[in-house]
Copies of this chain bind each other. A is one copy, B any other.
Amino acid sequence: MALSAAAVGGDTQSTGVCAPRGFVAGAAAADIRGHGDDGRLDVAIVRSERPCQAAGVFTRNRVKAAPVVISQLTLRQGRVQAVLLNSGNANACTGAQGFRDALQMIKAAGDACDLDPAQVLVCSTGVIGRPMPMSQVVAGVRGAVAAMRPGGGDDLARAIMTTDTVPKQAVRRIEIEGRTVVVGGVAKGSGMIHPDMATLLALVTTDALVADGVLGPLLRRVTDQTFNCVTVDGDTSTNDTLLLLANGAAGGDPVTAGSAGLAALETAVLEVCDDLAEMIAADGEGATRHFRVEVRGAVDVVQARLAARTVAGSPLVKTAIHGRDPNWGRIVAAVGRSGAEFVLDRCRVTIGGVTVFDAGAPVDADLDAVRRIFGADRVDLDVDLGAGEASGHAWGCDLSDGYVRINADYTT
């Protein structure tokens, strides 16, 4: 769909959180990692011109970082207008001091933006168990606020990267009752990526005007089909946070539950999040390629996703794909331990269109073709459980010695 800048509003050059109307973002280099003044962006803020409806989905890890707890409480209190983010330090396992630091961060952001701190959400990612270097952080907050501009989404996308090798942004433009509505998103991923949920930090903005109470359920449905379908290493972070902000700048009547407008908005949010989910898998720590596991023939969608995630998370499947080794038995073994119901003599495994296992027995397949398929940037695995009608998918990435190198000396 071709849209003129005038029709779209917002920053039409941006593919991220500043693409919807009425959002500005900025970032600053605060040397949170203590590497000296290398200019790496590590603090960012996005601010809406008006208060937003907001929803969040957070880590299910019982150890929640201070910013996660604070942001969960903030969301319960009503509308928000800004989100502060930093990389380099997760402010997790930091005791009472961590809570004081998270509160000081939102106070600094509120002061600099002229907002009530109760309207500021905060997200942190990075090393666990280290105190926040607060003098640098506060200076970084002020710098990020001073740098805010309509095209600042790209800087924000870079500022939240940890071991990510590329920034991750996505955008969709739709029409709701004749008005253009924009959805933009940003994420950082790479390691400690596993349901539930799958990303350290993701933020989706939209200029849709929505009725009360619809964003939360929408975001939970989308999460189950996107970020909860990504696994990099099976470790669930203490800091996982997905936020959705809707500032209503598109105007019109509020989008209400059950409406066609809400369905269109949900599809756009889903597509933005699915794009980001695939980008996270593709940029998994040390990954040289990513893969999608489609499971069909399951008893229900929960079991379909369970089987898909188990295959996507299997170190033996991941290393086989890394080594272009057509060792498909590992896929069947992973399905077998997933707990999902299946009927072995109706089970089928297909790799990039080549069926290797059918009706419980090996197929005399072209394994050289499978080797070639495993050499592509993206690999598609398809597993039919033969037990029902439901489907689900998962995104994964190969396991390389690069993963080991990255994680063997993260803090040192």
A residues with a Cβ closer than 8 A to B are 60-64, 90, 92-97, 127-131, 191-192, 233-238, 313-316, 319-320, 322-330, 332-337, 339, 342, 344, 356-357, 359-362, 371, 399-401, 403-412
Contacts and interface: CB of A to CB of B under 8 A. Distances in A.
Assembly of this chain: how many copies?
A: 2
Given A63-B344, A337-B61, A234 B408 contact: no
A343 to B, nearest CB: 10
B234 A234 contact: yes
Contacts of A401: 401, 404-405
A63 B332 contact: yes
Contacts of A235: 314-316, 330, 333-334, 337
A316 B62 CA distance: 17
21 contacts: A61-B336, A61-B337, A62-B337, A62-B339, A63-B333, A92-B332, A93-B362, A128-B333, A129-B327, A130-B329, A131-B362, A192-B333, A235-B330, A237-B333, A238-B336, A315-B407, A319-B407, A322-B408, A325-B411, A400-B404, A401-B401
B326 A357 contact: no
A407 B316 contact: yes
Given A328-B129, A342-B62, A319 B408 contact: yes
Contact of A403 (B313, B315, B336, B406): B315
A361 B63 CA distance: 12
Contacts of A335: 62-63
The list of the 6 closest CB pairs from A to B, nearest first, reads A128-B329, A323-B408, A95-B361, A63-B336, A401-B401, A319-B407
B95 A325 contact: no
A327 B127 contact: yes
A383 to B, nearest CB: 12
A88 to B, nearest CB: 14
Nearest to A341: B62
Contacts of A405: 401
Contacts of A233: 315-316
A130 B62 CA distance: 43
Nearest to A321: B408
| Most-contacted residue by chain B among A235, A238, A314 (CB, 10 A) | A235
Nearest to A98: B361
B362 A329 contact: no
Contacts of A412: 323-326, 371
B130 A362 contact: yes
A341 to B, nearest CB: 8
A193 B42 CA distance: 40
A15 to B, nearest CB: 30
B408 A333 contact: no
A325 B192 contact: no
A312 to B, nearest CB: 12
Given A93-B357, A238-B336, A337-B61, A191 B130 contact: no
Given A95-B361, A314-B234, A315-B234, A407 B323 contact: yes
Given A60-B337, A62-B337, 7 more contacts: A63-B332, A128-B327, A129-B356, A129-B362, A131-B362, A315-B407, A319-B403
A325 B127 CA distance: 12
